[in-house]
Chains A and B, each alone.
Chain A
Amino acid sequence: MYEIIEGFLEAVELIITLDPDVMAISARSVIISFAATIFATMIAVPLGAAINFGTFRGKKSLINLIQTLYALPTVIVGLLIFLLISRVGPFGFMRLLFTPTAMIIAQTVLVLPIMTGLTISALSGVDPVIRDTLHSLGATRLQFLVNIMKEARFAILATVAVGFGRAISEVGAAILVGGNIMASSFMSSTRVLTTAISLETSMGNIPKSIALGIILLVIALGVNLIITTIQHR
């Protein structure tokens, strides 16, 4: 118990004094996961819309498959991306392994299924009356899409929040493709909050782990607050 309290106090100190190490790791975490969420959004929203409004054979199975992939283990994504971008892999020539870019790619792939699936749910959840009204008013295909999107915007926003949450909290893929590197320049390092917590705990630096854990939770809380504020406007 003593260890936890002591660790907590030291953690608060690390945060208040803006410990440069801790701040850099936190900033890197946010940047990488935010970039991954943006990319995933740009793919998932159009893809989700196409699946939701499209009529094609195997639509139900496709949605089932996407929902199954919600549970996609992070280490499997990590392994897959590792094999693709490792030097001897098909994209090895790009030399992406152990870079923040690799982590962005892995996290994008990781959150894609859940964001696509939730987009489909968001769009299919739009009141059918609105759809019928739009059709009967003679809306063009584009007008129809824009208006449905407008109706579903809060649910889609929530999807983005879920995607960001999954991206910033995962550790398996980040450590496999990032390598948990602490280099002298910010952009070459690949140590993020989760991988740092894992390392610091294994090295017995419990206060630092607790500090990083608190920051991770605070970031999650902040993102949630922003989303709810927008939704309640």
Chain B
Amino acid sequence: MRRRTLFAVATVMVALLLICGCTGTTQPDTPVDTEKQQLRIATTTSLYDTKLLDRLSAIFEEEHNAEVLIVSAGTGKAIEYGQRGDVDVLMVHDRAREDVFLADGYGTNRRVFAYNYFIIVGPESDPAAIKGLQPEEAFTAIREKGMAGDADVIFVSRGDASGTHSKEKAIWKSAGFNYSTDVQGSGDWYQEAGTGMGATLSMTNEKQAYTLSDIGTYLAYKGDLDLVTLVDEGDILLNVYCAMQINPEKYPDINSTIAKDWINFMISDDVQKEIASFGVDQYGQPLFYAAQDDWEKIGVTLAEVTDPVL
């Protein structure tokens, strides 16, 4: 008799456990406010690490009664998420790969919303003497010293197929080197971090090495870094950010309406002003420039910076 009661109690407990378990998983599926739309964005780390997107998404959420979910990854990974249809919007900075992505039909409605510049940063002592050089000359000098075995000269690469990594490869190419044979794996002087911009800057700081960074992330991290800007001039250093939506023809259940809202939001006058002034009070200079004012300078069409997507 007692055994039977015990068994009954056990059964009830298992049933309770099951119920608890089930409610445990169903809860995350159903948002508290069902009215709210969710917008999933895969972004390059520089827009996230500078906290620009935190600021903008807060405004957007208020205006559109939406919830913005941001996954921060390098441009390469963000594009991969886009190709798999795992997000609604991409925010990236790698024109060449964006073009391929659009041509393959994965993306549509690209709009350019901001730009700034890449810089080469390094230790104040500047062992490779690159200060004030053109980017290509600076890379050549770092490689030369590094190959010669100067232990103080190290270049830390993002090494993660990000937009910044793409730019770095473009500079090596422009300097006349074959990236995979002349640079990658050519010696201890060239080290691939395989991580985001902020983490790469921290690593560069620890090693007192050189790296290529976007100016926004560098300024946001500057307070913690013992690194100075050594090269900041050269056309190749231009860094253009765009937003585009994943093509609803490829993935029909993508949230296309809210994705378009976001893109239009990014090129709206208010947000363009917000971008241009972001960080000025904290860092004494803007982290990003609004694309609308300078579309000619950054080599895009007027339509790409002003035409709302329909």
Contact = CB atoms under 8 A, between A and B. Distances in A.
A179 B84 CA distance: 15
B272 to A, nearest CB: 24
Contacts of A29: none
Given A180-B72, A202-B202, A92 B28 contact: no
B24 interface: yes
Nearest to B57: A184
A38 interface: yes
Interface in A80-102: 86-89, 92, 95, 97-101
A58 B202 CA distance: 51
B137 interface: no
Interface string B185-199: 000000000011011
Contacts of A88: 84-85
B261 interface: no
A38 B24 contact: yes
B185 to A, nearest CB: 24
B67 interface: yes
B283 interface: no
Contacts of A86: 84-86
B132 interface: no
Given A87-B86, A202-B202, A204-B221, A146 B24 contact: no
B145 to A, nearest CB: 28
A101 B25 CA distance: 6
Contacts of B58: 184
Nearest to A186: B32
A31 interface: yes
A99 B3 contact: no
B93 interface: no
Given A42-B17, A42-B18, A187-B32, A203 B49 contact: yes
Contacts, number: 88
B148 interface: no
A35 interface: yes
Contact of A100 (B7, B28, B67): B28
Interface in B10-26: 10, 17-18, 20-21, 24-25
B59 to A, nearest CB: 12
A39 interface: yes
B197 to A, nearest CB: 9
Given A97-B86, A184-B61, A42 B21 contact: yes
Contact of A204 (B6, B17, B69, B202): B202
Contacts of A183: 67-70
A183 B36 CA distance: 13
Nearest to B62: A184
B127 to A, nearest CB: 24
Interface residues of A, number: 33
A180 B29 contact: no
A188 interface: yes
Given A99-B29, A183-B69, A187-B27, A35 B85 contact: no
A104 interface: yes
A179 B198 contact: no
Interface string A20-40: 000000000001001100110
A180 B251 CA distance: 24
Given A180-B71, A202-B199, A202-B202, A98 B21 contact: no
A143 interface: yes
A55 interface: no
Interface in A110-144: 142-143
B20 A188 contact: no
6 contacts: A86-B84, A87-B84, A92-B85, A98-B86, A146-B6, A188-B69
Interface of A: 31, 34-35, 38-39, 42, 86-89, 92, 95, 97-101, 104, 142-143, 146, 179-185, 187-188, 202-204
Given A99-B28, A180-B71, A187-B28, 14 more contacts: A35-B25, A42-B21, A86-B85, A87-B86, A87-B251, A88-B85, A89-B84, A95-B253, A98-B40, A182-B70, A184-B58, A185-B31, A187-B32, A188-B67
